[in-house]
């Protein structure tokens, strides 16, 4: 299946030689002389790297149809994470490398959206923030209340984030999945 470069829309997925890409931005340019062209910003589905590409007007591009399925994370098996499709109840094994940094934010029982292309998972869509429990952190020292002071805390998934001094072990906190930063107590 292909799509014309003139019909590109934001969020559309393309299967290019550079890999599976999604259109972040596009602009039709019609210079005074010469043919029209389309200037695009494309984001690699797997790595998140953004590249600039220019296509001729009406150039045929391979369209990638990505099926987004909501799945529940069940357990870890070796280097793979096992998810269950919420509709068909099929179990899917996903390699840690295909999940990227998302492994720091998902815990057993969580539901996530997994984009699937050609029967293989090509990433993970996480909510903007997740609630995780602090596994261990040093106690705040009495009287050490410098405004904005932070200390490292290890979360239940193994992720280490900087938290305010008043937050202790066993507490639930909200973490931003885009930046990996502490947001608030849950």
Portion of the chain with pLDDT greater than 70, in percent: 95
Dump pLDDT digits (tens) for 70-97.
Answer: 999 999 888 888 999 888 888 888 888 7
Percent pLDDT > 90 in the chain is 12
Q: Which two tokens stand for residue 95?
A: 């390699």
SS3 category, 48: coil
> β-strands 60-62, 50-56: how paired?
unpaired
Q: DSSP 3-state assignment of 45?
A: coil
Q: In what helix (H) or strand (E) does residue 153 lie, and over which residues does it extend?
A: strand 150-155
CATH topology for 67-121 is OB fold (Dihydrolipoamide Acetyltransferase, E2P) (2.40.50)
> pTM for the complete prediction?
0.70
pLDDT of 178 reads: 83
Architecture label for domain 2-62: Roll (2.30)
DSSP structure string for 1-35: -EEEGGG--TT-EEEETTEEEEEEEEEEE--SSS-
pLDDT at 52 over 90: yes
Q: State in words which class domain 129-185 has.
A: mainly beta
Give residue-wise pLDDT tens across range 109-127.
888 888 888 877 887 888 8
The tokens for 144 are 């050490």
**Does residue 66 surpass a pLDDT of 70?**
yes
């Amino acid at each position: 299946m292909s799509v014309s470069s003139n019909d590109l829309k934001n969020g559309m997925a393309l299967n290019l030689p550079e890999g599976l890409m999604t259109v972040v931005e596009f602009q039709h340019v019609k210079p005074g002389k010469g043919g029209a062209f389309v200037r695009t910003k494309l984001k690699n589905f797997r790595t998140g790297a953004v590249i600039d590409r220019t296509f001729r007007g009406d150039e045929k591009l391979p369209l990638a149809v990505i099926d987004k399925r909501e799945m529940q994370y069940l357990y870890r098996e070796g280097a793979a994470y096992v998810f269950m499709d919420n509709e068909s109840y099929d179990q899917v094994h996903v390699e840690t490398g295909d999940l990227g940094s998302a492994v720091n934010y998902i815990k057993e029982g969580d539901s996530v959206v997994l984009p699937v292309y050609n029967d293989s998972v090509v990433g993970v869509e996480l909510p903007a923030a997740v609630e995780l429990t602090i596994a261990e952190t040093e106690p705040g020292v009495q009287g050490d209340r410098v405004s904005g002071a932070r200390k490292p805390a290890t979360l239940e998934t193994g992720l280490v984030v900087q938290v305010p001094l008043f937050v202790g072990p066993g507490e639930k906190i909200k973490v931003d999945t885009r930046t990996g930063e502490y947001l608030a107590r849950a």
